[in-house]
Chains A and B, each alone.
Chain A
Amino acid sequence: MAKSHIKMTVNGKAVEELVEPRTLLIHFLREQLSLTGPHIGCETSHCGACTVDLDGKSVKSCTMFAVQADGADIRTIEGMANADGTLHALQEGFRQMHGLQCGFCTPGMITRAYRLLQENKNPSEEEIRYGISGNLCRCTGYQNIVKAIQYAAAKLAGVPFQEAAE
């Protein structure tokens, strides 16, 4: 099968590659671009571990062909840290609030939470839970993930983070 020539921007860098049309975006990112931050979890569009940010949308990269992303602007967890190398507020929040245990879901969670906070700078707990409902975590019970996102929202807004009383 003839390969397709695709161009896109990934984490701010221009990328040009040849791909088979059937290559899924997750395989393209992991195997051709060596970006192994997005994870392959369920492979059935449920778990969200493969989530990347694509043209201002959170997408499951296991459910899209790389050719469909031709011309797109993509951000993965590898592109999340600040330009000076310090952690993004979300990464810091996950560390401070113990938002991960095994860490498998974390790249998808952070990438999804990034878009959520772009669209809603001060989400309620309910809005956060609904906003990350396409991402499964089997360790944390989600409580500390919600706190991590609240931490990041506060930090990005420049206000002190106050944990809600239990």
Chain B
Amino acid sequence: MIPGSFSYHRPSSVQEAVGLLAKLGDDGRALAGGHSLIPMMKLRLASPANLVDLAGIADLKGIRSDGNDIVIGAMTTQHDLIGSDLLGAKIPLLRETSLQIADPQVRYVGTLGGNVANGDPGNDMPAVMLCLGASYHVTGKGGERRIAAREFYQGAYFTALEAGDVLTAVRVPVPPAGHGSAYEKLKRKIGDYATAAAAVVLTMSGGKVASCSIGLTNVAETPLWAEEAAKILTGSTLDAATVKKAVAAAEAITAPASDARGPAHYRTKMAGVMLTRALARAKAKARG
């Protein structure tokens, strides 16, 4: 399988990349780790006339604290996320999720920016970003702006990005100390997308849920933020009856496709099972 011909560009700054992409319009695509785009190009499902490789832009790499947020450069790989002591201490959910993405070789090259910007409902990080209340730094023709992850995803492969935009960083607010989190993913085998997956971040106080946020992966055209389910759980002890109600609320917002991973109603039920497991694990890790 050989991709179609293209011209290769390797800008060394964000400004240069944005300028190139703006000029090229529909004929240009940004290349991050390439582990979604290159397979599509090999299948000729994508045939961009120009690739703008972001790998030469030093500003797009790295993980740093900024006040109560952690800012992660878009070209930071899943492997880098796994190895980060800062993230391990402050937002362990990101390490846990990264370890469930694809396989070691893919994680060495696949980037956080590519994972969240591609708009593929099968990618794991978008639902985790909805769960964490992250925002994306985007630079385009009009300068830099921030877009909340919860407002970013519009449909399968459709996002708030416009032609010429480059997603440069992901800003994640650090959850409160003592929070518990979990990402539960059902997949057929290593390297597969989720049949269904659920991300949970919660805090407990006096044995009751003080705050809760839930994201769901690959059970709709976009990642889902299960706001109603989280509301039902808040104030509860995560007793079985309340969890059951919340799971029903989460299942109600899913609209998965029937595909090789199973029929739609099965995938909806699996989203509920993943959520139940993630809640139990997050609670066990939370203090208070």
Binding site for B on A (CB under 8 A): 1-2, 4, 20-22, 24, 27, 43-46, 48, 51, 57-60, 63-65, 67-68, 112, 116, 130-134
Contacts and interface: CB of A to CB of B under 8 A. Distances in A.
B103 interface: yes
B38 A44 contact: no
B105 A134 contact: yes
Contact of B34 (A27, A58, A63): A63
Contact of A21 (B6, B35, B42): B6
A132 to B, nearest CB: 8
A64 B109 CA distance: 9
10 contacts: A4-B8, A22-B2, A45-B35, A63-B35, A63-B39, A65-B34, A67-B10, A133-B104, A134-B102, A134-B191
Interface string B241-265: 0000000000000000000000000
B82 to A, nearest CB: 11
Contact of B6 (A1, A43, A44, A133): A1
B38 A58 contact: no
A1 B53 contact: no
Contact of A57 (B2, B7, B108, B191): B108
B105 A112 contact: yes
A59 B108 contact: yes
Interface string B1-19: 1111111101000000000
Interface string B223-236: 00000000000000
Interface of B: 1-8, 10, 31, 34-35, 38-39, 41-42, 51, 53, 55, 79, 102-106, 108-109, 190-191
A59 B107 CA distance: 9
A22 B39 contact: no
Given A43-B1, A134-B105, A134-B106, A65 B39 contact: no
A21 B51 contact: yes
Contact of B8 (A45, A67, A131): A67
A68 B34 contact: yes
Given A4-B8, A22-B3, A64-B34, 18 more contacts: A1-B7, A24-B3, A24-B38, A43-B1, A44-B1, A45-B35, A57-B79, A57-B108, A59-B105, A59-B108, A65-B38, A68-B53, A68-B55, A133-B104, A133-B190, A134-B104, A134-B105, A134-B106
Contacts of A2: 7
Given A57-B79, A63-B34, A68-B53, A22 B6 contact: yes
Q: Which 6 A-B pairs have the closest CB atoms?
A: A134-B103, A21-B8, A57-B108, A1-B5, A133-B190, A134-B105
A45 B3 CA distance: 14
Residue from B7, B38, B79 with most neighbouring chain A CB atoms (10 Å): B38
B105 A51 contact: yes
Given A1-B5, A2-B7, A58-B108, A64 B102 contact: no
Nearest to B108: A57
Nearest to B39: A45
B105 A48 contact: yes
A64 B105 CA distance: 12
Contacts of A112: 104-105
A134 to B, nearest CB: 3
Contacts of A58: 104-105, 108
Contact of B104 (A21, A24, A43, A131): A131
Given A43-B1, A48-B103, A57-B109, A63 B8 contact: no
A133 B103 CA distance: 6
Contact of A44 (B8, B39, B79): B39
Nearest to B107: A134
B105 A60 contact: yes
A140 B34 CA distance: 31
Contacts of B3: 22, 24
Nearest to A111: B105
Contacts of B53: 67-68
Contacts of A131: 104
Contacts of B51: 21
A118 to B, nearest CB: 12
Nearest to A55: B108
